[in-house]
């Protein structure tokens, strides 16, 4: 997320370039006559190497070599992009949904549309859609990150709230009840995580980016997103949520002490929270994230990763076959759930027994049932942009300043819009 790729080209040029590279490059050895097809896979998540071993043991005709690299935001993406530029990239790489359009705009992805098409219906619509850009598919999703409300069930009850808020209106009303009863207690917090905020905007129906012809459309401050900022600005103005940086020690201190009672976040936050406030085990629960309209419930997604096919891959069909197996085979999925903590993107994987196990930290609740319902309500129309390093940096900075009271959330959106467009123009992209 934080690395900057080599100079990007316009969307149309990038797509045209990718369309003609299906049989070139160094993504694997063309050695079918003498042995199995060999492909390389780069990633960083724990447990990936075991799933690769499982694949190799059951697929003698395709053998995968896995290399563990630094996480994407800590240099992994830079390494992949450099390898593409040098012509020696692996066939498959872990590239987050939010970064995939950046790779596409940089001409670093291989068109896998034809090879991936037969598997489209085996994934949630949103997950499959975010594995591509501008009508082309560049990989298959491994995991997604549906959102929910993680809350202190015991403390909500202490304040007379016996059901989690179903709507944002109820959330605001509960926030007033809690803070009025105890000025040191808050229903939740306002942080500076741009991707979490993006999930909130997605739930509201935001369309930050779109592609058409040679141009990107940028609308970070669209009406749906302003609906979200208006709500949270109101909570900030009334001091009904605690302002604290996302993932900061102060956040978990407040949660452990019982002064911050909930977190609207993605499925991957549940083990982080459990590990951070172990002393409160059994007191937490998970509920659906509050919605704007109970007649049209929607949810957000804040994360997720496809196995992307990188430019130069000489074995696209086999790379896609491996990527599909990786996220659908029950043994692989079980390994990834237990070792990596993923929430699988494949529909068939949602029946994996590992997702049905009661969680002691959450009072024995089968928390993945909540996230299963959430995943089904994620809008597939949301698309990430091609310069998310700049977009997320500007938005995160703006969220922090708005929380501190030095700007407003609407002003932060306007500044994010301006910085995003400027960066895209700097990189030679057309906007409109």
pTM reported for the whole predicted model = 0.88
2, part of any domain: no
For residues 349 and 372, what is the distance between their CA atoms, to the nearest angstrom? 11
User: Residues 215, 268: one domain?
Assistant: yes
Buried/exposed code over 294-311 (b: 16+ C-beta within 10 A; e: otherwise):
eeebbbbbbbbbbbbbbb
Provide the domain limits for residue 64: 11-145+302-375
CATH number at residue 354: 3.40.190.10
% of the chain residues with pLDDT over 90: 88
pLDDT the model gives residue 33? 54
The three-state secondary structure class of 359 is strand
260, part of any domain: yes
The last residue of one of the domains, among 355, 375, 395, is 375
Q: How many domains does the chain have?
A: 2
Can you read off the two tokens belonging to residue 108?
Answer: 């670093």
Helix-strand-coil percent breakdown of the chain, rounded to 5?
45, 20, 35
User: Residues 278, 310: one domain?
Assistant: no
Q: What pLDDT digit, counting tens, does each position of 171-211 carry? A: 999 999 999 999 999 999 999 999 999 999 999 999 999 98
User: Residues 102, 192: one domain?
Assistant: no
CB 185 within 8 A of CB 178: yes
Residue in the block written with tokens 């020690």: 249
Q: What pLDDT digit, counting tens, does each position of 26-61 carry? A: 444 444 457 899 999 999 999 999 999 999 999 999
User: Residues 63, 87: one domain?
Assistant: yes
The last residue of one of the domains, among 375, 398, 422, is 375
Can you read off the two tokens belonging to residue 18?
Answer: 């990718």
User: Residues 420, 314: one domain?
Assistant: no
Provide the CB-side half-sphere exposure for 11 (13 A, CA): 24
User: Residues 237, 345: one domain?
Assistant: no
pLDDT the model gives residue 28? 45
- Please tell me what DSSP assigns to residue 378: B
349, part of any domain: yes
pLDDT the model gives residue 207? 96
Can you read off the two tokens belonging to residue 411?
Answer: 């002003």
User: Residues 348, 393: one domain?
Assistant: no
User: Residues 312, 403: one domain?
Assistant: no
The last residue of one of the domains, among 338, 359, 375, is 375
User: Residues 94, 190: one domain?
Assistant: no
pLDDT the model gives residue 308? 98
pLDDT the model gives residue 431? 87
pLDDT the model gives residue 3? 34
User: Residues 281, 364: one domain?
Assistant: no
pLDDT the model gives residue 9? 37
Q: What does R_g of the chain's alpha carbons equal in angstroms? A: 22
Closest CA to 285 of 358, 163, 355, 367: 367
Interacting residues of 333 by C-beta distance below 8 A, sequence separation 6+: 327, 344, 346, 349, 352, 354
- pLDDT under 50: residue ranges of the chain: 1-32
Closest CA to 106 of 10, 19, 8, 13: 8
pLDDT the model gives residue 10? 42
Residue in the block written with tokens 């990989």: 139
């Amino acid at each position: 997320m934080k690395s900057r790729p080599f100079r990007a080209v316009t969307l149309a040029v990038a797509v045209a370039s990718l369309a003609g590279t299906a049989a070139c490059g160094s993504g694997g050895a063309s050695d079918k006559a003498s042995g199995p097809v060999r492909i390389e896979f780069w990633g960083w998540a724990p447990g990936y190497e075991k799933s690769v071993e499982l694949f190799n043991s059951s697929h003698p005709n395709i053998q995968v070599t896995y290399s563990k690299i630094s996480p994407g935001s800590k240099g992994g993406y830079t390494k992949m992009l450099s390898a593409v530029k040098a012509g020696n990239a692996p066939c498959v790489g872990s590239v987050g949904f939010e970064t995939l359009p950046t790779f596409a705009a940089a001409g670093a992805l291989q068109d896998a549309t034809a090879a991936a098409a037969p598997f489209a219906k085996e994934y949630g619509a949103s997950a499959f859609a975010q594995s591509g850009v501008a009508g082309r598919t560049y990989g298959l999703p491994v995991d997604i990150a549906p959102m929910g409300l993680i809350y202190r069930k015991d403390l909500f009850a202490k304040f007379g709230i016996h059901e989690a808020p179903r709507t944002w209106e109820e959330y605001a009303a509960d926030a007033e009840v809690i803070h009025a009863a105890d000025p040191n207690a808050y229903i939740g917090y306002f942080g500076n995580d741009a991707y979490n905020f993006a999930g909130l905007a997605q739930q509201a129906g935001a369309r930050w980016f779109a592609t058409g012809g040679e141009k990107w459309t940028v609308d970070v401050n669209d009406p749906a997103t302003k609906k979200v900022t208006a709500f949270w600005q109101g909570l900030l103005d009334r001091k009904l949520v605690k302002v604290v940086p996302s993932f900061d020690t102060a956040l978990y201190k407040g949660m452990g002490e019982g002064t911050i009672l909930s977190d609207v976040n993605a499925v991957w936050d549940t083990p982080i929270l459990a590990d951070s406030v172990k002393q409160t085990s059994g007191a937490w629960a998970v509920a659906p994230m509050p919605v704007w309209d109970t007649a049209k419930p929607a949810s957000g997604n804040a994360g997720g990763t496809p196995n992307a096919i990188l430019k130069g891959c000489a074995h696209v069909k086999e790379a896609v076959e491996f990527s599909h197996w990786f996220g659908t085979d029950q043994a692989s999925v079980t390994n990834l759930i237990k070792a990596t903590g993923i929430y699988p993107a494949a529909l068939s994987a949602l029946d994996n027994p590992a997702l049905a196990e009661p969680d002691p930290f959450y009072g024995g609740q089968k928390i993945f049932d909540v996230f299963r319902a959430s995943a089904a309500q994620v809008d597939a129309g949301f698309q990430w942009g091609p310069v998310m390093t700049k977009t997320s940096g500007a938005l995160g900075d703006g969220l922090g300043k708005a929380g501190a009271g030095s700007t407003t959330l609407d002003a932060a959106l306007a500044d994010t819009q301006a910085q995003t467009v400027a960066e895209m123009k700097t990189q030679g992209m057309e906007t409109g």
